[in-house]
Amino acid sequence: MNLKSIETLKGIGEKTSRLFQKIGVDTIEDLLEYYPRAYDTYEEPSPIAEIRPDTVMTVAGMLERTPDVKRYSRVQVVTASLRDGSGTLQLIWYNMPYLHATLKAGMRAVLRGRIIKKSGRLVMEQPEVYTPEAYGEILHSMQPVYGQTKGLSNKTIVRAQKQALASRRMIRDYLPADLRKKHELAEYNFAIEHIHFPADRKELLFARKRLVFDEFFLFLMAVRRLKDKRVNKTSPFEIQLSEEVNSFQASLPYSLTGAQQKVLDEVYADITGGQVMNRLVQGDVGSGKTIIAILALMQAAFNGYQGALMVPTEVLARQHYESMMDLFDKYQIPKVPILVTGSMTAKEKRIAYEKIAAHEADIIIGTHALIQEKVIYDNLALVITDEQHRFGVGQRELLGKKGKEPHVMVMSATPIPRTLAIIIYGDLDISVIDELPANRLPIKNCVVDTGYRKKAYDFIKKEVSAGRQAYVICPMVEASEMIDAENVIDYTASLKKALPQISIEYLHGKMKAKEKNSIMERFAAGEISVLVSTTVVEVGVNVPNATVMMIENAERFGLAQLHQLRGRVGRGRHQSYCILVNGSGQDGTKERLDILNKSNDGFFIASEDLKLRGPGDIFGIRQSGELEFKLGDIFTDANLLKTVSDEVKHIFSEDPDLKKEENTELNRKLSEYLEKSYDRLNL
């Protein structure tokens, strides 16, 4: 591991280092594992007569004149024109006046940039300029494009990556050579270099396959180690089904669906069966997982034990806490819920910890703060985590260590086909709620192109005037010079101009936790009418009043993730709508998005996603945030995931404790992986 600070690299001082920290890069190791999000391929120049709007293209020719520079308000606009044998193309740059001195009439050049339509004719905007010789050197190569932040350009990241690769110490490969040979896997040092700077697509796929294999392999090894620790463990908690809980369930104003009751019976059989429960409850958004969690927690409480519910965001923790308080008050349940979150003051935390330790609290609801060392439980019999894929293997293991082997139930609304769920959640038994409550109104969907945007804004305005709220999802936080996609910051500014009377705010993952919580709380309280966000809202807040979900550049997301985002609406009594904006305009993309148009069944959508995605589908679409994988995608890489699963089973059947000499390096790597997983918790 290279844990040296990136400030040891030439040209990276304190200021640039802070910008790198914003993208999660502190050390050289972090930098090398900060993989490109896309690649630019430098193709042969096209004739000017064949250029197409809304695409990045390369043209070559002769500059007809020295560029003109004009000032409009605060912007300096540079214009020129390029001619080849097939026609002439207008060129335009913003705030680059020095080009007047470097570009001369009659000069031969190669230009690469986005073609846009301006005043009825095609123009190349902000092109990069190359001499024919310089372009020849990068022709047919693939150049990495990284996720950026304001002030940190792609060029700076590329320069840092090249230095990091040149100065790195070669790492001894932990994978046995015969395993690499069997699955045609690149050597690790080769893979880490060529994922950043591949000579061609074939080399990129070779490097990527090795790194994805590693991600799946270490994850599944860790899951298997967890499973071996847990199998057939006798539970120290004797739980008997409580009459009070059964009476409470009977008095609810609705009956559980058949699927809910079946899953509840499986959970009850686990907690009363004498062995430690380790169960995953999968259910589509709105299928009613929360009531199952509440009933299970109540069973633990009425047996004299404590139960804990851990969720991914503070806003959701507070919502769960408040709704449980209301429920217990309404039905006069003599049990005490308590809230524990990271943003509580030191005094509030101390009081909460004291109440938990003294068993003055029966049900503890919170975020990661629940597994901090300072939280001491009194007979913690049941731990439930919501949105399981947000908590890694390390968190699952730490949860199990709180108290004396509590029962563990994990809930997820992420629709994963059963074949893959069995592999990924190999340490857990699986239950599926595959039926929605009868009173749920199906969400109305439409797939549109960017020309529909004005109508969509009018529709949002109409919904807001009726007292409703809306989400707009963009794939990026800020504008990027390399990737053409809507971004949260610029989009919010233009939406505020389009809808000036409406309260609009933005939300993204790079904001401070306090800011994020404040925005989500204000949206949940109805103070914000339209929330422009990245996929950070995929989990974490329940706003029944939100009825519109508009997703820009929907083609850039996996179907299962689009379905998850759509599940943020349709939670209340009003009709809800999902508008998927296809920014690419390609037919194949529309067909793909139409699957969402036709179905609201997450598990059907996930299985269709699995059929559609192939080994070549590695650009632009991934299930962002899925589990702990930076490169791997359980849909695109489903076959590799199955292969890795078989290998992990084989290794553990031959050497359960990884004590054989050929597995020494593997055992060390696995321990390091688990340690890093704990470190992410900042304990």
d(CA 592, CA 442): 20
Residues making up the chain, counted from first to last = 683
**Residue at 473: amino acid letter:** I
DSSP 619: S
Enter the tokens of residue 158: 């590329």
Whether residue 558 contacts residue 635, with contact meaning beta carbons closer than 8 Å, is answered with yes
**Tokens 């050497």 identify what position?**
655
Give the CATH fold of the 43-139 domain. Answer: OB fold (Dihydrolipoamide Acetyltransferase, E2P) (2.40.50)
Q: What is the pLDDT of residues 493-550, one digit of tens each?
A: 999 999 999 999 999 988 888 898 899 999 999 999 999 999 888 766 789 999 999 9
Beta bridge partners of 307: 363, 382
Which pLDDT band holds residue 289 (cuts at 50, 70, 90)? very high
In the chain, residues under CATH classification 3.40.50.300 are: 232-433, 444-599+601-612
Mean pLDDT of 336-357: 94
> What's the half-sphere exposure (Cβ side, CA atoms, 13 Å) at 475?
25
DSSP 183: T
Token pair belonging to 641: 């995931």
* pLDDT cut 90: percent of the chain above it: 60
Poorest-confidence range of 76-80, 253-257, 446-450, 597-601?
Answer: 597-601
Write out pLDDT tens, residues 269-287. Answer: 999 999 999 999 999 878 8
Strand order in the sheet with 577-582: 444-449, 577-582, 546-551, 469-473, 530-533, 504-507
Segment among 332-346, 409-423, 618-632 with least mean pLDDT: 618-632
Q: Is the pLDDT of residue 615 over 60?
A: no
* Predicted pLDDT at 625: 42
User: Which pair of structure tokens corresponds to residue 424?
Assistant: 């990924």
* Mean pLDDT score, 147-172: 91
Section 440-458 average pLDDT: 92
Question: Strands 363-366 and 68-72, how do they pair?
Answer: unpaired
CA distance 649 to 646: 5
Instruction: Answer yes or no: is pLDDT of 458 > 60.
Output: yes
In what order do the strands lie in the sheet containing 306-310? 337-340, 363-366, 306-310, 380-386, 407-412, 278-283, 429-433
Four-point Cα dihedral 14, 15, 21, 22, nearest 10: 170
> What does the pLDDT average to over 574-591?
83
Per-residue HEC secondary structure of 400-422 comes to HHCCCCCEEEEEECCCCCHHHHH
> Hey, what amino acid is at 654?
E
- Which residues have CB under 8 Å from 256's CB, separation 6+? 249, 264, 288, 291
Whether residue 459 contacts residue 315, with contact meaning beta carbons closer than 8 Å, is answered with no
pLDDT at 679: 55
Contact criterion met (CB below 8 Å) for 91 and 129: no
CA dihedral 244, 248, 251, 252 (to 10 degrees): -170
The amino acid at residue 143 is Q
Cβ–Cβ under 8 Å, residues 535 and 625 = yes
Helix (H) or strand (E) holding 440: none
Determine the average pLDDT of the residues in 52-77.
90
- pLDDT tens profile 175-191: 988 899 999 999 999 99
The single-letter DSSP state of residue 601 is -
pTM for this one? 0.79
Alpha-carbon distances, residue 371 vs 84, 236, 310, 367 (angstroms): 66, 20, 9, 8
Average pLDDT, the chain: 89
* Annotation: CATH topology of 232-433: Rossmann fold (3.40.50)
| Amino acid in position 218 | L
Strand intervals (E) in 375-490: 380-386, 407-412, 429-433, 444-449, 469-473
Kindly report the three-state secondary structure assignment for every residue of 512-545: CHHHHHHHHHHHHCCCCCEEEECHHHHCCCCCCC
pLDDT-derived band of residue 624, with 50, 70 and 90 as boundaries?
A: very low
- The answer as to CATH 3.30.930.10 being correct for domain 444-599+601-612 is no
The answer on pLDDT for 223 being more than 90 is no
State CA 557 to chain mean position distance.
Answer: 10
Query: What is the maximal distance between C-alpha atoms in the chain?
Result: 91
Average pLDDT in the 38-67 region? 92
β-sheet bridge partners, residue 407: 382
- Residue intervals of the chain classified under CATH 2.40.50.140 are 43-139
Is-contact 75 96, C-beta < 8 A?
no
Instruction: Pull the structure tokens for residue 503.
Output: 């309260």
Q: What's the pLDDT at 682?
A: 37
The residues that bridge with 309 in the sheet, in sequence order, are 365, 384
Helix or strand or coil: residue 102? helix
Is the predicted pLDDT of residue 487 greater than 80, yes or no? yes
Q: Where are the alpha helices (DSSP H) in 94-200?
A: 99-102, 132-138, 154-167, 177-182, 188-196
Section 228-252 average pLDDT: 91
Torsion angle, CA of 20/21/23/28, rounded to 10 degrees? Answer: 60
Average pLDDT over residues 200-212: 94
Those residues with Cβ within 8 angstroms of residue 272's Cβ, 6 or more apart along the chain or in another chain: 239, 240, 241
